[in-house]
Structure 1
Amino acid sequence: MSSAVGRKAREPFALEHADVASGDEKGTLWPDTTIVVGDSGRIEQISPSLQAYVPEGYHRINATGKVVAPGLINAHTHLFADGKVLEAGESSPRKERAALALIRGPIGKAYLAARAKASVKALLNSGVTTIRTLGDAGYEAVALRDKIDSDEAMGPRILASGPMLSIPGGHGDPYIALSSSTPEEARLNARINLEHGANALKVAATGGVTDAKEVGVAGSPQMDEESMAAVCEEAHEVGVIVAAHAQSPEGVRAALRAGVDTIEHGCRMDDEIISLFHHNPRSLRGFSGLNSTLSAGLPLIEVSQEELGISDIARANSEQVVEGMLEGARQALKEGISEGVGTDTGMTLVTQYNTWRELDLLVRFAGYTPAQAFHAATQVNARNLGVDDVTGSIAIGKDADMIVLDGDPVKDLSVLADPKLVIARGWPVWRPKVKRIESVEELLTRF
């Protein structure tokens, strides 16, 4: 019998004698602390170990010499690929029809479901306990989320977007997007996703790098402000947040004016854009967050084109937008904008297991301290995604979303690459392991 509505009972346990990384902006560490987790999967007690009371029957885990930290949150994932080089190549209407028939047929759906399951497993085993998908081929992430929520499967908390919302021939269309030409059609597509169970939405405010067929497409305005506003109105009506793919000032400005809740990728900001991030009257909660996704951008300009094997078009489009993404991340820090962490998993050289690298890139390229980067991946992300009431920090009453590490991530972010124990909503993943892609890892050492 479950001790909480909709949940199966877990084995209650206590992590004893751990140092606890709070995840705050200062990098506060609580020494020799015991965390008690009940059979609901929620934290019942946090106290100095000498004062802790562990009820009889609770499994006691000696965490002496270890650091317990909040589980990571990745606010920008795709579950359909593993991070190897994506090369769109030449396309044609005939090839697109054939590819779509495969994707939407029984074989393609089965493959996508299996790929999503493998991606989620890699994310969880790498210490990520909450994800948001932002562009799915169908509703495979919704189905997987429901299995996890009902304790039929093990995995992170999922905010699932379903297909992104784009314009005909725009970013993501036709493979991972529903397209529309008018605000009325955009609103209908938002309803379709919501009716299929999506609890996050994404619009394509501009073109992107991966599927651009011409130089200059990345960052060029696509979905208009009125259509994005219609999507936001529909989503906000039921408490669902909206993300916008946006890689230029024009696109970011229009998306923020429309009321999106997070900007993905970003750009160099002017005063109006900065102000809208802080005070956005049309967003769900009055402000908007940013995910700079440096993991998706920097490899495309830092690794040689020959080693990546990407086209001249992809390289040129990358060069046009990545510097703006970097500058936007730096401005976000300076201006106090709510910068979270999203990696764009599945894109070229963005694996499902390397969320920690985004924190490292924020430190090395955008001026963040390790404490600020870890704070962004935990507490800030939770607030931006609207889940801070249940996760993002270690607090009594919240879900036990935690990772056990060999050291303090504020002193060495690389400890996040190898968690010794992952706990998601009170379910432990003992001896978590991920299968690294050596060809990708080798290229990532180049910068």
Structure 2
Amino acid sequence: MTVAIALLTQDLRLHDNPVLHAACAAADEVVPLFVLDPDVDAAGFAAPNRAAFLADCLTDLDASLRPLGGRLVLRRGPAASVTARLAAELDAVSVHVAAGVSGFAHRRERALRAGLGDRLHVHDGSLTALVPGAVTPAGKDHYAVFTPYFRAWSQAPHRTVLRAPKAVRTPGGLASEPVPTAAPESPGLPPGGERAGRRRWRSYPLERYAELHDDLAADGTSRLSPYLHFGCLSANELAAAATRRGGDGAEAFVRQLVWRDFHHQVLAARPLSARHDYRDRGDRWLPEDEEECTAWRQGRTGFPLVDAGMRQLAREGWMHNRARLVAASFLTKTLYRDWRIGARHFLRLLVDGDLANNQLNWQWVAGTGTDTRPNRVLNPLAQADRLDPDGAYVRRWVPELAHVAGRKVHRPWLLDERPAGYPEPIVDPAALSARLRRARDLD
């Protein structure tokens, strides 16, 4: 009996999984392997919210494999050495893993190659709808602007969606670690796992996505991002399904999937952009002021839309995308603090905390990334009027303002009576871009 190993990373699913599909085709028996790697903890990726969601994902995947004749094998230690030892123990004919885009993924792949040689097979297309680098502009290695990337993405051939395997036969007698328990930092996390993700996808009213996804109060986004981050759902499968359905909602949804692919292809080409400015604007960020940054983290800036978003993040480990952009603009453009301060805080709490999307969205807002308008300021008051016109989102997350009616909730400093317990604005509402303009000499 031949044996292959499917080393799973951010592809914790049965459906449309090139790694699992290839391993099943390569051998009589397959070991679906997940390694609890201490280097992941050291790199800061295993924050409590994501660790709790991951535990759900692993439990769910094991339960899905059991009826197929398989099970998930968990081992602990450095991924490359653990996998090489198991391959030697089983005399595995091949080891299969998904290609990643981060510096961490590249280092892991090099270590796996050193230990496994030609037995290692790295598969593209597990983590994104289109492989990073599949489309490039003439003479360059990646697209730096979204719109031309979107056009190229739309015209490119995409990988065929793979069916879930009918059988996954795993050798008996293999030792396995228990699924680790983890307490989330945020009490309102969703359940993890492929089955939960597919239920959410099947029940989501895709035809209304274009209408609802910017409406903060409606909470009408798909909330599929955690399932995409952990690979419980395939971006390729979702893009194909939405394209088949068609309509304005499906088109708007696919566009957001393309944004995700766009950021992955940028990070794949420029791994250092996870820590360094993609485009240096000569910024000399103000020092990290403890009082202001703490107010921002706690949702006590005195600007209700910013505070509502930050409190939603603390409660749910997730934040509406538009609120993310507004909160990020407030930190980087209004307070003029380094985008890395905000990116670290988001990665600590976001259950969908994806390195490519988090870091490059922060850079887009800060003006150091791919935005063609680097001095753009998302005014929290104008954004509140557009995205939360009746104030329902703010009242949901800022109880001190729950009694304030209508749009007045966005400007509590204009009320005759100051809301009890709610702070004054930490910067002048009439000078929201003053620090940025001085620093970048825009006046």
TM-score > 0.5 by shorter chain:
no
TM-score, length-normalised on structure 2? 0.23
Normalized per residue, which structure has more strand?
Answer: 1
Larger of the two Rg values belongs to structure: 2
TM-score, length-normalised on structure 1? 0.23
Normalized per residue, which structure has more helix?
Answer: 2
